[in-house]
Structure 1
Amino acid sequence: MMPQWEIKEIKAVLFDLDGVIIDSNQTIIDAWTKTAEEYGYKLSQRDIDNYIIGASHTFTLEHILPDQPEAVRKAFHRKVDRREEAASYALIKGVRRFISQLEKSEVRLGLVTSSWPGKVNTVLQQHQLNVFDCIITRNEVSRGKPDPLPYRTAIERLNIEPAFSLVFEDSNNGITSALAAGMNCIAVNNRTDKSLACITDFTEITVGQDNLLCRFYGENHGIGWRSKV
């Protein structure tokens, strides 16, 4: 069923990486959980939901290792990074087709992620997705998600007002970041905020002319909903 959502005019579409473009959440959870166990910590589901998925590493470390010195946090984080870099990742269903459709329009594309350049470049090269006009990694900002700074930095570089931007995010931290930056947001496999449109994956959304959720600025076509076949 078509969700009830006001049509917005869009000039830029921005994506998170983990859980939105690549199916990586379980890999991330495993990397943090196994490393925590090596340091004598057991992470709860609340820790995972609130402090790991979609969050910056500094935000995560402040909450799960609050009493540890900076040297210990850095060593911990290096182990997490190595585990993530050693993994391989599949694309979220439908995302390649959807991005290819967007490339044919006048809309600009952005990637805003809590991951680091090494991982981002590997993933984009592996899947031949070097299509983004702007890429913001954790190295580009002093404060990561759920702070709005990553998305504010992206739209400043794209020179586009927040109201004309659409974000695809899967985590509560990422959604909080995008909304706090004043941007429109569609949730991916996350129905926590009932006021947001939500897709399970990108097979449910397309670029066309019918039943538009978001219309590209100055054009009759845009991003619309379609039911799975």
Structure 2
Amino acid sequence: MSDAPPAQADRHPLPHPLPQAVLWDMDGTLVDTEPYWFEAEFALVAEHGGTWSEDQARSLVGSDLRESARRLRTEGGVDLVIDDVVAELLRRVVDAVRREVPWRPGARELLGALGEAGVPCALVTMSWEVLARELVAALPEGTFAAVVTGDAVRRGKPAPDPYLEAARRLGVEPSRCVALEDSTTGVTSALAAGVPTVGIPCVVELEARPGLVRVASLEGRDPAWLAAVAAGAAGDEGASRPVRR
């Protein structure tokens, strides 16, 4: 597959070539919606007379929604079929997002800078299309050149399928992209797809792993820094502790 167009490189003379694309996780990375998911889970379990813990909620971060629904049924006592559990969770989180989109620090600014630099972006989320659509609509048209959602892939994260599908839709090499993730599940998916990955902890800690660059926030990050990540020249900052605002 071809390199970035010469015009792009001429506008941005950098020590390392810009990534062919940047692949964004959504919940916890682009937007801090994890509290919305936690609230939906606790409320749904309580309505069905079950119990749910903070640790159980954290263990679902980044998971495929069907897997989350299965565990809410078996561990939380939610007496609904899996598709109905998913629909209930999504309804509650979509309603919360419509009231307020909780952007993570630096995310929109970096998206804008990537657009100006001509680097395509894809949204790669285990949330379903109904929620992803709300977030995409809150951004300038064309911000994402591709959107891969949990209901569009056979195997969700931590399998590599979502990131491989995003790269396929963009026509780029996974190894020449950068993924942005907040969860162990998502990091595992991106690395398994061969994508250099940035970890920005939100509600769960991220352990050091080959190919993973951990940072506390996306604030102040720019395309040149992502170029260094793609080239393996950016240092891991060891941001293993979640950073919330």
Q: TM-score range by the shorter chain?
A: 0.7 to 0.9
Partner Cα distance (1:205, 1:199) in 2: 10
CA drift at 1:15: 0.3
Percent identical: 25
- Please give the root-mean-square deviation of Cα atoms over the aligned residues, in Å: 3.1
Whether 1:64 aligns to 2:72 is yes
Which of residues 154, 163, 181 is equivalent to 1:151?
163
Which of residues 180, 196, 218 is equivalent to 1:202?
218
Query: What amino acid sits opposite 1:192 in the alignment?
Result: L
Partner Cα distance (1:162, 1:41) in 2: 42
Is this contact kept in 1: 2:94–2:131, CA < 8 A?
yes
Deviations, residues 153-208 of structure 1 (Å, cap 9, x unaligned):
11111122221111000011111111111111100126522232122221142234
Question: Which structure 1 segments of 5+ residues have no match?
Answer: 1-6, 216-221
Runs of 4+ in 1 over 4 A off after TM superposition: 67-71, 222-226
Deviations, residues 82-115 of structure 1 (Å, cap 9, x unaligned):
1111112221111111111111224221110111
Whether 1:14 aligns to 2:23 is yes
Query: Which segment is superposed worse, 124-133 or 157-166?
Result: 124-133
Which of residues 26, 37, 48 is equivalent to 2:46?
37
Is this contact kept in 2: 1:143–1:149, CA < 8 A?
yes
Whether 1:91 aligns to 2:103 is yes
Higher RCO by CA contacts (8 Å cutoff, separation 6 or greater):
1
Whether 1:122 aligns to 2:134 is yes
Q: Which residue of 2 aligns with 1:48?
A: 57
CA drift at 1:8: 8.3
TM-score (normalised: structure 1): 0.81
Is this contact kept in 1: 2:228–2:234, CA < 8 A?
yes
Query: What amino acid sits opposite 2:55 in the alignment?
Result: R
Q: For 1:138-177, what aligned pairs fall within 5 Å after superposition?
A: 138-177=150-189
Partner Cα distance (1:210, 1:22) in 2: 19
* Gap change, CA 1:213 and 1:178, over 3 Å in 2: closer
Is this contact kept in 2: 1:167–1:184, CA < 8 A?
yes
Is this contact kept in 1: 2:199–2:213, CA < 8 A?
yes
